[in-house]
A and B are shown apart, each in its own frame.
Chain A
Amino acid sequence: MLHLIYENRMITPKREFKEQEDIIAGCLKEDPRAQKALYDLFSSKMFSVCVRYMGCRELAKDVLQEGFITVFEKISSYSGSGSFEGWLRRVFVNTALMQLRKSNVLRFSEELNDSDNSIIVEAEGLNGLSTQELYKLISSMPSGFRAVFNLYVIEGFSHIEIANQLNITESASRSQLSRAKGWLKDRLFENR
Chain B
Amino acid sequence: MIKDKNDIDFEKSIRDLLEDFSDTPPADCWTEISVSLSKRKSLRRRRFFYYSVTSAAAVVLLFFGIFQINNTDIVVSNRESISVISPPVIANSEIVHSTKRAQAILKIGQRASRSDLLSVNETNLSQIEEQKDENRSTIIGIIEEPKDSLFIINKDNESINNKMSVEQYLFIEGLNSRSSTRRSPYLALSTNLSPSSSRNSVSLIAVNQTPGEYTMSNLVSAEHKSTVIHEVVSNTKFLMPLSFGAQLQIPINSKFSLGTGLFYTMLFSHYDVISRNETRETQQTLHYIGVPLNLFYNIYYGNGFRLYLTAGGALEKGVGANFRVLENGVRHSYSKSIDGVQWSIMGGVGAEFDVSERVGLYFDPSISYFFESDQPISIRTSQPLQYRFELGFRFKL
Which A residues lie at the B interface, using CB under 8 A?
1-6, 9-16, 18-19, 21-22, 25, 30, 32, 35-36, 39, 43-45, 47-48, 51-52, 57, 60-61, 64-65, 68-69, 72-73, 120-123, 125-126, 131, 134-135, 138, 152-154, 156
Q: How many angstroms between the C-alpha atoms of A16 and B220 in the bound complex?
A: 13
Closest to B17 in A: A131
- Indicate if B37 sits at the interface (CB-CB under 8 A): yes
Q: Would you give the shortest CB distance from A83 to chain B, in whole angstroms?
A: 12
Selected A-B contacts with CB under 8 Å, 15 pairs = A6-B376, A9-B381, A22-B217, A22-B219, A25-B219, A32-B37, A47-B24, A52-B18, A120-B4, A123-B9, A131-B17, A131-B21, A138-B14, A138-B18, A153-B14
Q: Would you give the shortest CB distance from A136 to chain B, in whole angstroms?
A: 10
- Tell me whether A61 and B29 are in contact in the complex, defined as CB-CB below 8 angstroms, given that A2-B334, A12-B214 are known contacts: yes
**Interface residues on chain B, number (Cβ under 8 Å):** 53
Q: Would you give the shortest CB distance from B44 to chain A, in whole angstroms?
A: 9
- Indicate if B41 sits at the interface (CB-CB under 8 A): yes
Q: How many A-B residue pairs have CB under 8 A?
A: 140
Q: Would you give the shortest CB distance from A57 to chain B, in whole angstroms?
A: 7
Closest to B286 in A: A6
Closest to A89 in B: B19
Contact of A154 among B19, B25, B216, B321 (CB under 8 A): B19
Is the pair B25, A44 in contact by a Cβ cutoff of 8 Å?
yes
Is the pair A122, B10 in contact by a Cβ cutoff of 8 Å?
yes
Q: How many angstroms between the C-alpha atoms of A15 and B212 in the bound complex?
A: 13
Q: A14-B213, A30-B41, A123-B9 are in contact. List 12 more A-B contacts (CB 8 A).
A: A5-B271, A6-B336, A19-B221, A22-B219, A39-B33, A44-B23, A60-B25, A123-B13, A131-B17, A134-B17, A138-B18, A154-B14
Is the pair B336, A3 in contact by a Cβ cutoff of 8 Å?
yes
- Indicate if B42 sits at the interface (CB-CB under 8 A): no
Q: How many angstroms between the C-alpha atoms of A73 and B23 in the bound complex?
A: 24
Q: How many angstroms between the C-alpha atoms of A69 and B376 in the bound complex?
A: 27
Q: Would you give the shortest CB distance from B362 to chain A, in whole angstroms?
A: 36
Residues of A within 8 A of B11 (CB): 152-153
